[in-house]
Amino acid sequence: MNWFTWEQYKKQFLMLGIALALYAALAIPLGLYFWHTYQQALITCKQTNTCGRLTQDLFQSGWSRVLNPNATAGGLTLFNVAILAMPFLLGMFVGAPLIAREYADGTNKLIWTRSVSRHKWLTIKLLWILVATAIFAGIFAALTTWWSRAGNVLFSDHFSATEFAMQGIVPVGYAVLAVSLGVMFGALFKRTLLALAVTLGVLLAVQIAIPNWVRPHLQVPHHTTLSLYQRNIGTSVGAKTFALTVPAIPSQPGAWVLSSHAVNASGQPVTAVPPACQGAFGISQGSGGASDNAQSQDPLACLAGQGLHIAATYQPAYRYWDFQRIEAGVYLALSLIPIGVTYWLVLKRDA
Amino acid sequence: MDNVAAKTTTAIQATDLGKRYGSFWALKDCNIVVPRGSVTALVGPNGAGKTTLLKLLVDLSSPSAGSATVLGMTPNQSSGYLSEIGYLAQEIPLYSQMTVEKHLAMGAHLDTNWDNGLAVSRLKELKIPMGRPVGKLSGGQRAQVGLALALAKKPKLLLLDEPVAALDPLARVEFLTSLAQAATDAGGELTVVMSSHLLADLERVCDHLILLAAGETQLCDSIEHIIATHKLLVGPRNEATSSPGYSIIKETHAVNETNLLVRLNDKNFRSSSRWHVHDANIEDIVLAYMEQAKQEGDER
């Protein structure tokens, strides 16, 4: 059965090998170039005492668009999309056809009537495919992690939703889940195209649900309050309301900020612009008109003067690998469901 | 004692075997006995459940009612059971990208009693290109590869589902010759059940016949016995046709004569002098049963 599985899928294994080689050919020079440029810039900036601006300087040199999509207005780059798509492609093109194709071609009736039990056939097939998937995704993610190190150091963003899904061991868990789901839908629908489409849909749903609703709660987040006298505070203003956010915690580089909002001195959330600061926000105060003094004042300084500050919750950077381990474990555990269902479908249902 | 005897002489016994898909019975109340060493034709109109029956026997499908005993076992997915059964599905499924050689290697790796020499010599004799992907072979060649894969397993029971349906007449003859040869070579150790609509072809190689129609087993016997117990009676028009000596399967009337195809209930039946008794051929008998079943089905 091992020989036959190899014989049946050697072309696919070869394709996966080629894909890895191509990625390595791209990622290794890129990673070396980034790291080298970063080291050079570090030496130069020490001489000119401009290391505080290093990030912006490199940012403007153009390569930050690849390194840090979140820092640019465009969001994801094509390169990142390609890397993030890896588990999806495996699920759709390795997982979904695995059993669906046997049903569609009728070859299940050939192979299930050899002197090998269907159970053994399925077990060996799944083992080969899932182990190959894990190895492929592992090497793939290791390459991504390696070439991203300059970006990780510079931008401290490897906890961000995009980077988290690309680096470390999470991609392995996600790829195994993706392929398991593909196999199950293939066995369920017996048609590759339908299985492929449903697999894609479910994977997208998981990829949206986990970072938004599950990952933030894997461990109890830390709380902190920040003064309004700092850079990087995002302000949005409504009719008579405002909201303040921070993308990062200055004292916690690399931390993942889950939420941030303005609070008053007693810790109550504030969304309405205090009357004293309406002038600073350029909000007309009815008939009287704003005083010149208030209008020239900085809105944040005015809010700070009213005793406001920012409350934020975050996951500290040192939890990164805990989160990677937990989430990879969750994906692997979830994979057991489609695998179990696949056994049931293949063994209990008619050919 | 009876049980042991049954085990050694019966290859297949099905009792009230049925398969339901939703509310539709693809096979119902199937009762058959297939003796060991026989070559049995499984015939019946489309939708009579021939494919379903064969799939039940090789456990590609599980029964909704009744039971089957095959070679003394209940059909299952174990290696021990499957190694005794050769099965060739209707569409002759093969891995179209794989060469003939790779298919044989598959058998060598996956089949317990694989006889590679047998498969190779069979296919070489038929001049089938061993290194070519099976997707590029003709229909007849594919059928021969499928048969070789089933036979080289050294099965005790070979189940063939419409193996010649898609073949041209020459390939059909070649296939049936191969099959007959294999059955002879096995010297009574091999039981064959083959479904088909092509009665003339089945007659060439089969010694037993099962007729499924209208959800029932209409006939299950040796062809010799079926022929011996069915007669064509030709007599005058307008005369009572019923008799305790036979059951009428089919009755047709011409201008001044009546034709009856009957099953004799009494071995020593002698017709009156006004009736002529002729032997019926198996094709006529099978067709008569199929028509009768169809009429009963329409009346229901």
> What's the pLDDT tens digit per position in B50-105?
999 999 999 999 999 999 999 999 999 999 999 999 999 999 999 999 999 999 99
Quote the CA–CA distance of A254 and A146 in Å, as a whole number.
Answer: 17
Residues A53 and A178 in one domain: yes
Segments forming the whole domain that contains residue A83: 2-219+331-348
pLDDT (0 to 100) of residue A151: 79
N-term to C-term CA, chain A: 20
Q: Is B27 on the interface with A (CB under 8 A)?
A: no
Tokens of B293: 């079943």
Domain ranges of chain B: 2-213, 225-299
Residues A64 and A144 in one domain: yes
**What count of Cα atoms within 13 Å lies in the side-chain half-sphere of residue A83?**
30
- Residues of chain B with Cβ-Cβ distance to A119 below 8 Å are 77
A1 with B110: Cβ contact below 8 A: yes
Per-residue pLDDT tens for B105-114?
Answer: 999 999 999 9
pLDDT (0 to 100) of residue A71: 46
Quote the CA–CA distance of A189 and A199 in Å, as a whole number.
Answer: 11
Residues A267 and A286 in one domain: yes
On whether residue A324 sits in a domain, the answer given is no
Residues A157 and A284 in one domain: no
Q: Which of B135, B181, B129 is closest to B158 using CA atoms?
A: B181
On whether residue A19 sits in a domain, the answer given is yes
For chain B, what is the mean pLDDT? Answer: 89
Residues A340 and A293 in one domain: no
On whether residue A278 sits in a domain, the answer given is yes
ipTM of the complex: 0.90
Q: Which pTM value belongs to this model? A: 0.89
- A14 CA to chain B: closest CA distance, Å? 16
Residues A93 and A238 in one domain: no
Residues A27 and A52 in one domain: yes
pLDDT (0 to 100) of residue A289: 46
Do B54 and B43 form a contact (C-beta atoms < 8 A)?
Answer: no
pLDDT of residue B34 exceeding 70: yes
Residues A28 and A56 in one domain: yes
Cα nearest neighbour of A105 on chain B? B93
Residues A160 and A211 in one domain: yes
In degrees to the nearest 10, what's the CA dihedral of A64, A65, A70, A73? Answer: 120
Residues A159 and A254 in one domain: no
N-term to C-term CA, chain B: 43
Residues A159 and A278 in one domain: no
On whether residue A323 sits in a domain, the answer given is no
Give me the average pLDDT of each 10-residue run along chain A (351 residues).
Answer: 93 96 92 85 82 68 52 57 92 97 96 96 97 97 90 81 90 98 98 97 95 93 89 82 88 90 90 86 60 64 89 94 96 98 95 83
Quote the CA–CA distance of A272 and B285 in Å, as a whole number.
Answer: 95
Per-residue pLDDT tens for B189-213?
Answer: 899 999 987 777 777 789 999 999 8
Cα nearest neighbour of A2 on chain B? B109
Residues A300 and A259 in one domain: yes
- Residues of chain B with Cβ-Cβ distance to A113 below 8 Å are 58, 60, 82, 85-87
Q: How many domains are contained in chain A?
A: 2
Q: Is A74 on the interface with B (CB under 8 A)?
A: no
- A177 CA to chain B: closest CA distance, Å? 28
B94 with A110: Cβ contact below 8 A: yes
On whether residue A325 sits in a domain, the answer given is no
Name the CATH architecture for the domain at B2-213.
Answer: 3-Layer(aba) Sandwich (3.40)
pLDDT of residue B159 exceeding 70: yes
Q: What are phi and psi of B206, to 5 degrees?
A: -95, 150
